[in-house]
Structure 1
Amino acid sequence: MTDTRYLAARPNLPVSDVARSVEFYRRVLGFDVRVDAPEFGLAVVGKEDAEIALLRTDSPPPGGCYLTVEGVDTLHARCVEAGATIAVALQTQPWGMRDFVLEDPDGHRIALGEQVSRAA
């Protein structure tokens, strides 16, 4: 029997307006559109190996995810310049991650961080 290999994780975020959310992730994070299926209320956006699925829902509960990046300071500056709501300021954590949290139009908290040191 062959071992299972996990290749990637893709969070599914419920959103009230897929097109608005796609525009937000393109403008703020520089994501590309990987799947655009408005007839199914679905889009997948991403950059390099990171992807987020956006699923239309009438009353989306807030959720979130954590994306590990390289160049978090540059990304933070881009997000601020794009007018994103920064929910948690850019900071270096005791466990070695430098990260910040933004909110998308549906209130999802998207944490973005970079490993800057190893925890002791």
Structure 2
Amino acid sequence: MRWAEPVLAVRDLRRSLEFYERVLGLEVVRDFGSHAALTGGLALQSLESWAELLDKTPEDLWPGGFGGEVYYEAENFDDFLTELSRHPETELVHPVREHRWGQRVARLYDPDRHIIEVGESMAQVARRFFDSGLNTEGVARRMEIPLEMVRTLLKQE
């Protein structure tokens, strides 16, 4: 068995695809009409087709209980924030924040109110702290990770 892809059920597939393309910069790699796969491994399925697969009605399934989120890491978090600012209609779950370990994140809603998290890569976090004057030991303490992981992350940048 192998992992395939997570699938989110959406009320309006075309509207959702447009959101993921415009706001997150993803591209459609497969479009089957009621199901589409995007770059990065996420797939979207129309609520109607999902309900049909489950022998349910859309009303049986919506509103869903969303106890999770879809998580992405931006190659350049500051560039992502600049792009996000060009879409003021996009509703944020909360303002951009920095977690205790130093990673900056933005959480936003897609058109169906699925939570999308976009975070700064951990390699970028390590580089940001290192470039601010912390040595590798200081970065490890600040990020609450082992020293060897800091060394690995700094090589990735």
**TM value normalised by structure 2:** 0.62
- Structure 1's consecutive aligned runs of 4 or more residues displaced over 6 angstroms after TM superposition are none
Distance 1:89 1:10, change over 3 A: farther
- Which range is displaced more, 109-118 or 57-66? 57-66
**Counterpart among 26, 30, 34 of residue 29 in structure 2:** 34
Equivalent residue of 1:51, what SS? coil
Q: Aligned-pair RMSD on alpha carbons?
A: 2.1
1:104 and 2:89 aligned:
no
Report the alpha carbon displacement of residue 60 of structure 1 after superposing the two structures with TM.
Answer: 5.4
Instruction: Extract unaligned runs of 5+ from structure 1.
Output: none
Between Structure 1 and Structure 2, which shows a larger proportion of strand residues? 1
Higher RCO (CA < 8 A, seq sep 6+): 1
Count of aligned pairs between the two proteins: 110
Taking the TM superposition and a 5 Å limit, the aligned residue runs for 1:34-113 are 34-38=29-33, 41-46=34-39, 50-57=40-47, 58=58, 59=62, 61=64, 62=66, 64-83=69-88, 84-113=90-119
Question: Identical aligned pairs, as a percentage?
Answer: 33
CA shift digits 1:20-41 (9 cap, x unpaired):
1001111111111111111xx1
